[in-house]
Structure 1
Amino acid sequence: MKFATALLLIISYIAVASAHMAMLWPTPRGGFGTKQYNGRIHAFIGYKDNVWKVRFPCGGYAPGPITKMKAGQTINVRFYASGMRASDIKKQPVLTKSTKQFHQARHGGGMCEFSLSYDGGKTFHLIGRYTNTCPDAYFKWPVKIPSNVPSCTHDKCLFVWSWTANILPQYYMNCADIRLEGSKDGKLPSQSIQIVDFKNRKMNVKELGDGIKHRASTGPTKKEISGNLSGNIPKALKKA
């Protein structure tokens, strides 16, 4: 019954919100299944209607459920497409025939970056990147927490997904609240993430993608997965 109710809420919110893609796991602030869920978790930073404005960082949502993580752990990130049914959420990621796929507003793919923030979204430390085909709810996207990062046990610890789309100049961000068990003398990665396409940021930026608007992509490449798990983070694709 709870799933059926949630599904009806999803359908109703899609009608009024700019619904695209969102992080499903780790559960982000305002994500599916949380008390704050309002359907606008899918929308890009800067989206505004008469109910909600999606703000930077983290969409403007308050802290949500906490996910425990450890240094050296692989996080299999999953995405939530607006066209997914409750049954899809339960069984994904499992690729199916093209004629039976749920709708995904992937905007031609683009570049997904994954980062840690220890100060509630003031600074970001890059730990993973997938280019061209990301995001896609039909696949897992492995990201490794570096083995040498310090612990983070206060209320401003975040695992962050950010996406610069291909077809449209739009920038998306979801943040999961975490508690991270790390190294005693740990050090955070020095590289930050790309932040674009809203007020006071570089505008009209698009990333190279696969051009697929609504169907499944080919998913992450073996090379990308290997790089993200080994700490050799794939480089951003250069624009034409």
Structure 2
Amino acid sequence: MENILHILNGDAALDGFNQTGLDGDVMIWREVLSEGPLQENMLSGSFWNARKKWITETFKEDADSYQHKVIDELGKLNSTYTEINLWFEFDLHCQVNLLGVLQMLSHKTDMSAPAIYLICLADCVQFANAKGLGELNGEQFEELYDARERLNEWEFELADEAWKLYINGDAAELQKWIDDNSFWGGVPLLKPALQAHLKRLQTNEAGLNYVEQKLLDIYNSGIKTRPAIFAAFWETESIFGMGDSEVDIYLDKLQQKKLIEI
């Protein structure tokens, strides 16, 4: 008998997924690994304690809520599945979360089983250029499912290298690795996402990274409220995949430097 697990990146995708006729259990990945402290070993208690501390302090989240929404949900990975489907999107936020999920799975599973598939939404023309799974209906979910890609050991090794480089945070090292890799197999969206991350590692003469400078430019253009800044930022920067609360982190840094006042 097949035991199937679907891992959805965020709650927004659940409504569309529930409209499908797809069998299996559902796990919601609710972390935002593209921001905050990370350690290489995702299976360590210190990794999740550091994440809990940062999330609760940064987003004023309740520690019990984090335990319930994130840690307890991860417990589903302890069950035995013959097939795992990973539903993730093209942006940096999703791709770093994907690297984290692949890290956990690589430590927990024999690569001969279960079968692990990636279902990735890019800028799909057939879906009116929908940016996120949360914009799709059940029929469109099923269309994506039919085009899913099975991941093998090669992709897991590539993801492991990417995870270590991401944790290390060395821009030159990451750039060299991206340049040296000409084949991305079943994870082609990892490259543009990591190229976007490079822009966050590199700083200009003013000591600002790309995201900070972009937000400052928007502010200096006369857009002075947070909601309006969010909207202007996402017009051109969807590759970063951050929600409003993550953009706030960067705006707060600019405010601390007295470069903006909102």
TM-score normalised per structure 1: 0.28
**RCO higher in structure (CA 8 A, sep ≥6):** 1
Between structure 1 and structure 2, the one with the greater Rg is 2
Q: Which has the higher strand share?
A: 1
